Chains A and B, each alone.
Chain A
């Protein structure tokens, strides 16, 4: 078995008396699409926030390409090759779509304030390359035409795509998507599944949280199920669908609604 891209071991996070994530372990292998599911409040987003350094783990380890992420600040983790989107879209609302994607180029470029003021050839070249790369990512997520639009003026589905574009601009090895289909209609979700597969075909591993079971079952090769902060199942979609604990904990809840 090859070394996993992301290895999570015995991860625990306490918020005061509440244990949001409780002794969770799983692997994400390179080139796969992995889903993290579970009822609301199961601790899925907390796991993401631990991976990207927004929270510090109480105990347990996260290794990315065999390097420990514990204690690193978020921007360092992003530069190592993990990019993410947010559950409640966090775009730079007052900025254009291009400028949003350019944010992702930041960690791959280096011109500082003096270069900005004096504009030596290197700075100009870097700036041009950044813009071209940003445009290429906009094209990839299907927003080339909306490049000049302010982010807040985009439709909900397009805002989610723009966030993916911004994340891709950081040239990640692992892309973490937090409810990418949230607020999308059926057609938009279908397009999103295509997009996620296209991302994977670029050699980028995908880890996602999603409530839309159609998307999870169709797109993911492996699913990890959390309930009350604990991992209750892990496996391919078919096995997860039949797992009695998952049906009881997760699908059962949905039937009651």
Chain B
């Protein structure tokens, strides 16, 4: 990681930690929302930003994760945080299953298929599939998480849980970006024919991007379930997928700092301007349009240079 970027992350972490101590419960809750959307957008960024696969049904993976956590918590009394890996696994499995037959589709076609996938999941939840999802009312009575015997229910407590997970995600995804796996996704996005022609199994990597992105969205879903203690299908509407898509594109496709900034802008700003009531969404829409005309690469775009001369000298010396 470059030193400048590491310092920026550290500054952000300190600023957030300080903010959580001094802000009232309402604003801490806003920050928690920002954190959850940041998590989801980072997971979507693997698929949309790094691999260049248009996925506008990401809320479906989020929903599968949240419902998995809710069901195993309410039916089998498994502590909600223990459900986290199960949520990730269920969403990954689901992601792999639905992506497998459509993964060869390109651009706009994939976009439409993923929209359909998101809607099918939402409607299935409303219709109480397998009698597990509680229909339009959803599932309630999800227990609060307990960490080291400390029951988490204040927004402040959730703040540390959510942003701790965001920090871990940023760290891991940053490493992912600087690896054989991350590069393969980028090759895919840049030129699929050339990637395959250089020996990259493009079909496999597309699927892996979907599975990993879905797994992370599923884990975010389980945190969401723990935070809300009640979940219902309306939390996983098409609009959620659109917002996530916007965060990634607006912030900077493929760029982790860009996605974090995008989450603050798309989720945080409308809260700050709540006083302007409905006009805020109008302004927001206009800003989006202006952005897409004048700065298509996003606010903090992804930069290709991941190697410095010194890295290469090090690699050569080690041989």
Contacts and interface: CB of A to CB of B under 8 A. Distances in A.
B202 to A, nearest CB: 7
B307 A78 contact: no
A107 interface: yes
Contacts of A75: 196, 199-202
Interface stretch (A5-13, A128-136, A189-197, A239-247): A128-136
Contacts of B271: none
Given A79-B199, A150-B304, A116 B175 contact: yes
B96 to A, nearest CB: 14
Nearest to B204: A75
Nearest to B199: A107
Contacts of B176: 113, 116-117
A170 interface: yes
A74 B172 CA distance: 31
B284 to A, nearest CB: 29
A98 interface: yes
Given A127-B180, A148-B305, A104 B312 contact: no
Contact of B200 (A86, A107, A117, A130): A107
A117 B172 contact: yes
Interface residues of A, number: 49
B175 A94 contact: no
A103 interface: yes
Contact of A129 (B198, B309, B319): B319
A111 B191 contact: no
Given A92-B186, A96-B305, A111 B181 contact: yes
Given A90-B193, A116-B182, A128-B318, A96 B307 contact: yes
B175 A90 contact: no
Contacts of A150: 304-305
Interface string B191-226: 101111111111100001000100000000000000
Contacts of B187: 92, 95, 103, 106
B1 interface: no
Contacts of A143: none
A166 B187 CA distance: 12
The prevalent SS among residues of B at the interface is helix
Please indicate which of the listed interface residues A84, A93, A117, A132 has the most CB atoms of chain B within 10 Å of its own CB.
Answer: A117
B306 interface: yes
B184 interface: yes
A102 interface: yes
A129 B314 CA distance: 11
B183 interface: yes
Nearest to B209: A113
A104 B198 contact: yes
A128 B199 contact: no
A159 to B, nearest CB: 12
A54 interface: yes
A187 to B, nearest CB: 27
A83 B197 CA distance: 8
Contacts of A86: 193-194, 197
Contact of B318 (A78, A109, A123, A132): A132
B198 A170 contact: yes
Given A98-B312, A111-B181, A128-B319, A78 B198 contact: yes
A148 B312 CA distance: 10
A166 B307 contact: no
A70 to B, nearest CB: 17
B190 A94 contact: yes
Interface in B251-289: none
A84 B180 contact: no
A95 B304 contact: yes
A93 B208 CA distance: 23
Nearest to B302: A94
A255 B240 CA distance: 64
A99 interface: yes
Interface string A43-74: 00000000010100000000000000000011
A173 B196 CA distance: 18
B18 interface: no
B198 A166 contact: yes
A4 interface: no
Interface in B296-314: 304-309, 311-312, 314
Contacts of A73: 196, 201, 203
B15 interface: no
A130 B180 contact: yes
A184 to B, nearest CB: 20
A148 B198 CA distance: 20
Given A75-B199, A98-B307, A111-B181, 15 more contacts: A78-B197, A79-B199, A86-B193, A92-B191, A98-B312, A99-B304, A103-B183, A103-B194, A103-B199, A104-B198, A113-B176, A116-B178, A128-B314, A132-B319, A135-B315
23 contacts: A78-B199, A83-B198, A83-B199, A86-B193, A90-B191, A90-B194, A92-B190, A92-B191, A98-B307, A99-B186, A99-B304, A103-B198, A103-B200, A108-B199, A111-B179, A113-B212, A116-B178, A117-B176, A127-B315, A128-B319, A132-B318, A147-B309, A148-B307
Interface of B: 172, 175-176, 178-184, 186-187, 190-191, 193-203, 208, 212, 304-309, 311-312, 314-316, 318-319
